[in-house]
Amino acid sequence: MKFPKDFVWGSATSSYQIEGAWNTDGRGPSIWDAFCQIPGKVFEGDTGDVACDHYHKMKEDVALMKQMGLTAYRFSISWSRIFPQGQGEINEKGIQFYSELIDELLANDIEPWVTLYHWDLPLALQLEMDGWLNKEITDVFVDYAQLCFERFGDRVKHWITFNEAWVVAILGYGQGVFAPGRISNTEPYLAGHHILIAHAKAVQLYRTKFQKEQEGKIGITNNCDWREPLTDAVEDQKAAQRALEFFLAWFADPIYFGKYPKCMEDRLGDRLPKFTEEERQMLLGSTDFFGLNHYTTMLASEAKQINAGSVYGNGGLSEDQDVNLALDPNWELTEMQWAVVPWGCRKLLHWISDRYDHPNIVITENGCAYDDQLENGEVNDAKRVEFFKGYLEECAKAIEEGVNLTGYFAWSFMDNFEWASGYSKRFGMHYVDFDTLERTPKASAKWFADFLKQ
């Protein structure tokens, strides 16, 4: 496997999934703190109250990163830790935590890649202004972003505004399986629209007030699973293309082309909001890199009849696309029941490269969940090692074929709170005992460390 010399190698986490300390040192609640309290929403009633207690074990965790030879670490900031009410009063102790984390990383030669929003909206903003449904939140987000640029931008050179707008919109406002738990077939498009505008405004602020002096880069991360046509039939090929546009082009086209994909406009009509000319201009080119989270692949076909309520589909919103999704029975499944299909990753990288004219792509998440067991102080997660090998091989091939892929972050650094699945799914390269909170490097962490040494 060949990778360029300056390729960025890292691992990723997010605030609510690892920090714990949910009400420590003045942190305000987020929509996930509230969502976890609703019986039935999270597997076995788990919460992020303690999670990996990274808030208190930060130095230990950075030492483990160093031990692995990571040169980059992607984490997210808990908005309500620094603005307990989402806006207004600043919590200096929250600022201090992230400031110390950044210093600790830099002291260990690890580049911080900071995500501003990984789903944990301050609860106050949900209650007071309906979260992402209200356009005014775009300015509140910009104030939060500004504080982060001011306080951390001297040391942070890579910013990601939003993690996976698709998940926020579809799972949070469409299917209601993630916070804030809304169920609707109009709200996802409105929430997604406001996230895009908030992103564009924050980038504009960074570029006009900070970028020159701080010399950092700013972008957005979107997620996309690959969609392979079920058959060679033209209608299935079109269905797969449509599925990718509803998934990824929804959020990438406005940034690269200044508009939503035509198939979304045609099918959604008035449910798809419109950008003003000013917003369009602000969105165009508003990213310095193409952040991509990629996990799996499905087969797509023209839906003559939608598999109502199928788990395989973009939820109740699949009707908007008329696409049926299925799995090839030969594919191996992870503990999330997501198929392991390394070549899907390469196809997706090419699809992005072709559609958006060879952008600089950074895989900001890729990984898998397995039911890892601690045996005699060791965790042999051989399947995860195979997964990384397979996906990285396809990444290397894509680079050889001309794709401008410049970085890769493994999800995740350690086992953590897997949202609605609670602690039942292990994604980490470090095993976490959630009773003692002790960390143990798995075989995959050692494999990754060896791989990075070559």
- The catalytic residue positions are 164, 365
Structure tokens at 183: 């169920």
Identify which of residues 91 and 321 has a Cβ nearer to ligand GBH in the complex: 321
Among 104, 228, 302, 418, binds ligand GBH (CB under 6 A): 418
* Residue of 73, 75, 251, 295 interacting with ligand GBH (CB under 6 A): 295
Check residue 173 for interaction with ligand GBH (CB under 6 A): no
- Cβ partners under 8 Å of residue 422, min gap 6: 42, 43, 44, 45, 46
**Neighbouring residues of 40: CB distance < 8 A, sequence distance ≥ 6:** none
Dihedrals phi, psi of 373, to nearest 5 degrees: -120, 140
Q: Pairing relation of β-strands 439-441 and 430-432?
A: antiparallel
Residue carrying the six token digits 């030669």: 109
Stretch that binds ligand GBH, among 24-32, 43-51, 290-298, 347-355 (CB under 6 A): 290-298
> Which of residues 1 and 183 has its CB atom nearest to ligand GBH in the complex?
183
> Dihedral angle at the C-alpha atoms of 424, 428, 430, 435, nearest 10 degrees?
-20
- Under the binding rule (CB under 6 A), the answer on residue 225 touching ligand GBH is yes
Part of the chain binding ligand GBH (CB under 6 A), chosen from 36-44, 50-58, 84-92, 159-167: 159-167
Tell which positions 355-374 bind ligand GBH, by CB under 6 A: 365
Q: Which is nearer to ligand GBH, 95 or 114 (CB)?
A: 114
Cα separation, 389 vs 37, in Å, equals 39
- Please give the Cα distance from 444 to 384 (Å, whole number): 6
Please count the other Cβ atoms lying within 10 Å of the Cβ belonging to residue 188.
28
Question: Which residue's Cβ lies closest to ligand GBH?
Answer: 295
Which range in 29-37, 104-112, 197-205, 293-301 contacts ligand GBH by CB under 6 A? Answer: 293-301
Question: Which region, judged by CB under 6 A, interacts with ligand GBH, from 29-37, 88-96, 162-170, 278-286?
Answer: 162-170
Helix segments in 87-136, DSSP class H: 92-107, 123-129
76 sits near ligand GBH (criterion: CB under 6 A): no
Shortest separation between residue 407's beta carbon and ligand GBH, angstroms:
16
Nearest Cα to 395, choosing from 454, 335, 353?
353
Q: How far apart are CA 360 and CA 174, in angstroms?
A: 31
Q: Which of 52, 68, 125, 167 binds ligand GBH (CB under 6 A)?
A: 167
- Tell me the window of 99-107, 120-128, 258-266, 292-300 that interacts with ligand GBH (CB under 6 A): 292-300
CB of 295 to ligand GBH, least distance (A): 4
From CA 4, how far away is CA 117, in angstroms rounded?
A: 30
Q: Minimum CB separation from ligand GBH for residue 337, in Å?
A: 6
Q: Give 426's Cβ-side CA count (13 Å radius).
A: 23
CA 184-365-369 angle, 5° bins:
85
Q: Does 245 sit near ligand GBH (CB under 6 A)?
A: no
> What length is written for the chain?
454
Q: Which residue has the tokens 């798995």?
A: 442
Nearer to ligand GBH, 296 or 444 (CB): 296
Residue 33 one-letter amino acid:
D
Neighbour-count burial of 397, counting CB atoms closer than 10 A to its CB (0-12 exposed, 13-18 middle, 19+ buried): middle
Distance in Å, CB of 401 to ligand GBH, minimum: 25
Select the residue interacting with ligand GBH from 91, 223, 301, 324 (CB under 6 A): 223
Considering only the stretches 80-88, 123-131, 279-287, 291-299, report the one whose residues sit in contact with ligand GBH under the rule CB under 6 A: 291-299
User: Between 279 and 394, whose beta carbon lies closer to ligand GBH?
Assistant: 394
Task: State which of residues 61, 104, 120, 164 lies at the interface with ligand GBH (CB under 6 A).
Answer: 164
Nearest CB to ligand GBH, comparing residues 16 and 83:
16
Concatenate the DSSP letters of all residues of 191-217 into one string: HHHHHHHHHHHHHHHIIIIIHHHH--E
Establish if 296 lies at the interface with ligand GBH (CB under 6 A). yes
| Smallest separation (angstroms) from ligand GBH to the CB of 352 | 16
Environment class of residue 143 by beta-carbon count within 10 Å: exposed (0-12), middle (13-18) or buried (19+)?
middle
Residue placing its CB nearer to ligand GBH in the complex, 14 or 91: 14
Interface ranges with ligand GBH (CB under 6 A): 14, 17, 163-164, 167, 223, 225, 293, 295-296, 338, 365, 411, 418, 427
